[in-house]
Structure 1
Amino acid sequence: MIDYPSGSPADDLRDLIRVRACADGTETVVWWTGDVYGWQPDDGPRHLFGFEGVNVGRARAVPGGYELLTREAAAYLDPRTREILQTWNNPLTGGEAEVMHVWNDPANQRWQEQGRFGPFRAPRVQIGDQVVFNVDVLLAYPSPLPAAEFPDHSAGDTYRAMELFQFFVPASELASDAASVPCTLSWTRVSPWLPWMELGARPGALVYHCRGAKLGGWDEVPDRFREHVAAYDPAFAHAPEDWSEPNETSWTAFRKRHPGSR
């Protein structure tokens, strides 16, 4: 195992863009699959869902860095049959809830050589013939669903979560000048209960454990999931052309559907 020294912020940024997307702006498709577990202080962990999704994006060079323009869609699955759920029998309460799948448009990011937290860095380690990048995203910001307004759907006034990514790249590919290099990935997320689960501020959390890859194009996404996207909105098969904000999340989408739950 070899610690891989980081280069300049510009080199680190271009390397990670080549891994995550494509430095020349070509549209890229990332697909993943996995599972979601729930735990409470006195119960679990429980296997609550399967999970499958795609992110379709393009990296656009801007002064000092890149804009990563993406849309993402994901579906919650029955943990045994792997069928896409429409309703969910909650084993924690015995109730039934309508499932809200993930339709995040946009899901954009700005990556800058010099950002608000300092110079851009892409931590990595070489293990055998692979280079492994890790990107740890630690989140804490005001929740779109204040607890007083959404007592049955909000874990609190601050949204706290972790998104932990690893990208696995052949060292020989990374050493090339290619604008895009192949990668596989792992993703772990620790988050509050989803709003539609109707668990409010009940102690506990969700853990997502997924793996996936950058694909050769939309046609390589499994048929069942492509049909799921086409039935909802074919736009999710393509990346946005321009920057827009704010980003959509499961929490902001829930608020749009349920402007006030009390």
Structure 2
Amino acid sequence: MSQVSERETPGGPAPDGPDLADPADNLRSFVRARASTGPEDTVVWWTGNVHSQAPGENHRHLFRFEGFNVGRMVEVDGGWRFLAREAAFYQDPRTGGILDSWTDPDTGAEHEVLHIWNDPVNQDLLLDGPRGPWRAPVTEVGGDVMWAQDILLAYPSPLPVAAYPDNSADDVYRAAELFQFFCRRADLDAADLPSVPCHFSWTRLAPWLPWMRRGARPGGLVYHCHGAKLGGYDELPEHLRKYVAAHDPRFAHSPEEWSAPNETSWTYFRKRHPQG
């Protein structure tokens, strides 16, 4: 899929600024919206809800969900390298308190909640990467710029069913991560700004979480969140900063250097429960 730019310019040609139909301009503009071309850490925060969906059942509001990503961009040949960590927390759907345990409404079984502590969540953003040319479709309407990223995942599960029958329903992990990023064209046109204000939305369609211990039961989860880039870590809600300070202070900063592979909820569960 190539870049798409639909810029409204009534009354004359488009003003000076990045040409978002050009891959190099598109990539640099996306880096400025998502993070920064400068050396500083960038923090994005989100909040939303997690719902269940299963055949023959009404949707259920299981959790509130709140988290953040802290990362920084490093310029490399052909693009950028993003070094990041992210933490996110399952919350009581009524009070918003961060949960220690969760009671399955169908079985009555109580399970320890395993929050998201993904370190790292690094990413290469390259004009010509292993998966082909840079692809970030963008639409311009009036003064708004909107990027869409549909990430459709299917890869061997870190939790094969034979070893984790209570935690996994498939030997292939399948999910969809659907992002939209929004900024103002006037901000992108200000070439002296390494970082521009950005809001975003995120939807995930995913299997039951391993710690829910729902095994092969049909169904899964729908995450629906929205968020924004903040001015720094100190702008995160105080309750999140306190929780991170008490449980893993590393997440107040981006990683110092590149490492691989990335952490996910599934690989983190496997580390915590190597025998299922």
Q: TM-score range by the shorter chain?
A: over 0.9
Alignment partner of 1:197 is 2:200: no
* Higher alpha-carbon Rg: 2
Alignment partner of 1:175 is 2:178: no
1:33 maps to 47
Shift of 1:94: 2.1
Q: Which amino acid aligns with 2:175?
A: A
Unaligned runs of 5+ in 2: 8-18
1:221 maps to 236
When normalised by structure 1's length, the TM-score is 0.96
Unaligned runs of 5+ in 1: none
C-alpha offsets along residues 113-172 of structure 1, whole Å, 9 cap, x if unaligned?
012332112211123321111111111110000000000001210001111111110111
Q: Is the CA contact 1:6–1:121 (under 8 Å) kept in the aligned structure 2?
A: no
> Partners in 2 of 1:172 and 1:93 — Cα distance?
54
Q: Report percent identity of matched pairs.
A: 58
Question: Aligned-residue CA RMSD in angstroms?
Answer: 1.2
Alignment match of 1:156 (pick from 170, 173, 178): 170
2:98 maps to 84
C-alpha offsets along residues 166-205 of structure 1, whole Å, 9 cap, x if unaligned?
1110111012212111001111011111000001121111
Q: Which amino acid aligns with 1:187?
A: W
Alignment partner of 1:243 is 2:258: yes
> Partners in 2 of 1:89 and 1:217 — Cα distance?
35
SS in 2 for 1:14: helix
SS in 2 for 1:259: coil
The 5 Å alignment of 1:136-155 reads 136-155=150-169
Alignment partner of 1:252 is 2:270: no
C-alpha offsets along residues 37-96 of structure 1, whole Å, 9 cap, x if unaligned?
011011121100000001000010111111110000010000111110000011133211
Alignment match of 2:203 (pick from 169, 181, 188): 188
Shift of 1:7: 2.7
2:68 maps to 54
> Partners in 1 of 2:216 and 2:30 — Cα distance?
37
- Bigger proportion of residues as strand: 1
Alignment partner of 1:122 is 2:136: yes
1:133 maps to 147
Q: When the two structures are aligned, how many residues end up with a matched partner?
A: 260
2:10 maps to none
When normalised by structure 2's length, the TM-score is 0.91
The 5 Å alignment of 1:10-21 reads 10-21=24-35
